[in-house]
Amino acid sequence: MVRAAVLPAVGAPLEITGIELPEPGPGRVRVALAAAGVCHSDLSLSDGTMRVPVPAVLGHEGAGTVVAVGEGVTHVAPGDGVVLNWAPSCGSCHACVRGEVWLCVNALNGAGEVHARRADDGSELHPGLNVAAFAEETVVPAGCVLPAPAGVPLTDAALLGCAVLTGYGAVHHAARVREGESVAVFGAGGVGLAALQAARIAGASRIVAVDVSPRKEELARRAGATDYVVASENTAREIRALTDKQGVDVAIECVGRATTIRTAWESTRRGGRTTVVGIGGKDQQVTFNALELFHWGRTLSGCVYGNSDPARDLPVLAAHVREGRLDLGALVTERITLDGIPAAFDNVIAGRGGRALVVF
């Protein structure tokens, strides 16, 4: 038996309880978690914004050590450090063949499988977003484990699995920020802070962080923000004032709300680009009139998992970490235990802090 954070039903509070994992069968890997980050998407699963089969073990941003491998697994062995990848690509669907592995249509096929059983009553549990990282140990498909990069502590490496791949990818792959461009990042949670660091790595000239909380300024500046704006109805005007009345070249929206998406778009210059990273609900309707779409000539695009290919991008991110350009510690606002996850969810709801990291 291992301890895990289980979502019993959509809208119900998380339960910290014992689970029984199966032995790793063919093509599966058992991992002892070193750390797992608490991501806003876990909350989106728990409140039903994103739907997955429940009851489920949540947690999708983690790293740990391989305990055992099933038949046919050759790319990792017991004792190896690994980073969990919650969106394994199949390699053969239309998206994968095009090289857009982040759009793989089969990435979440595993969500309906039986992952483990509750230790108390033997009932079936599903694996949230494939990897069920809010647990002392997990058993995952081989495609969900990537060898951990050398020179990055495993606890820090957990963050690479979602926040950093997403935030860095939004800046480098989706928005393609170029040296000298100005960037505004909306939302200073884990992904937003990673996006700020990515903008700094890209050589952005002016990096504006926007958040509803005035308390995140220090975190944001440490991540590379040159300016900090507390979100209000004047946000777009304030950002234009910082950029010769033009607006930024690029806005990265990490919140997923209609008003923030609209403000991000309005904060860019004519011809500017807005990338939406935040995952919002169906009730979040964003409206534009036809004349303004023409007049401003702006681009608005979505982005999935930072449009990243984890196998390709992890070594790049690790090099940034080793060479001091990417500070993973600067993303973490608190280190907690498994029992601290429900309270960390409350902090996410309240918009406090960056990333809570569960350390096992």
Q: Which is nearer to Zn ion, 41 or 155 (CB)?
A: 41
Unique residue bearing structure tokens 């946000």: 235
Contact 357, 159 (CB under 8 A): yes
Contact 288, 263 (CB under 8 A): no
Among 4, 7, 41, 55, binds Zn ion (CB under 5 A): 41
Among 90, 201, 258, 319, binds Zn ion (CB under 5 A): 90
Give the N- to C-terminal CA distance of the chain in Å, as an integer. 15
Give percent helix, percent strand, percent coil of the chain, each to the nearest 5: 35, 25, 40
The span of 17-25, 99-107, 180-188, 341-349 binding Zn ion (CB under 5 A) equals 99-107
177 lies in the site for Zn ion, by CB under 5 A: no
Phi first, then psi: what are they for 160, rounded to 5°?
Answer: -65, -30
Among 4, 54, 69, 96, binds Zn ion (CB under 5 A): 96
207 lies in the site for Zn ion, by CB under 5 A: no
Among 6, 39, 148, 317, binds Zn ion (CB under 5 A): 39
104 lies in the site for Zn ion, by CB under 5 A: yes
Among 43, 50, 67, 93, binds Zn ion (CB under 5 A): 93
Reported residue count of the chain is 360
As beta bridge partners, residue 37 has: 357
Among 87, 144, 162, 174, binds Zn ion (CB under 5 A): 162
Phi first, then psi: what are they for 317, rounded to 5°?
Answer: -65, -40
* CB of 20 vs Zn ion, minimal distance in Å: 26
Binding mask 178-197 for Zn ion (x = CB under 5 A): --------------------
d(CA 214, CA 231): 9
Of residues 319-338, those binding Zn ion (CB under 5 A):
none
DSSP assignment string, 248-268 = EEEEEE-S--HHHHHHHHHTE
Residue 84 CB: number of other CB atoms within 10 A?
Answer: 32
* CB of 346 vs Zn ion, minimal distance in Å: 18
Site residues for Zn ion per CB under 5 A: 39, 41, 89-90, 93, 96, 104, 106, 162
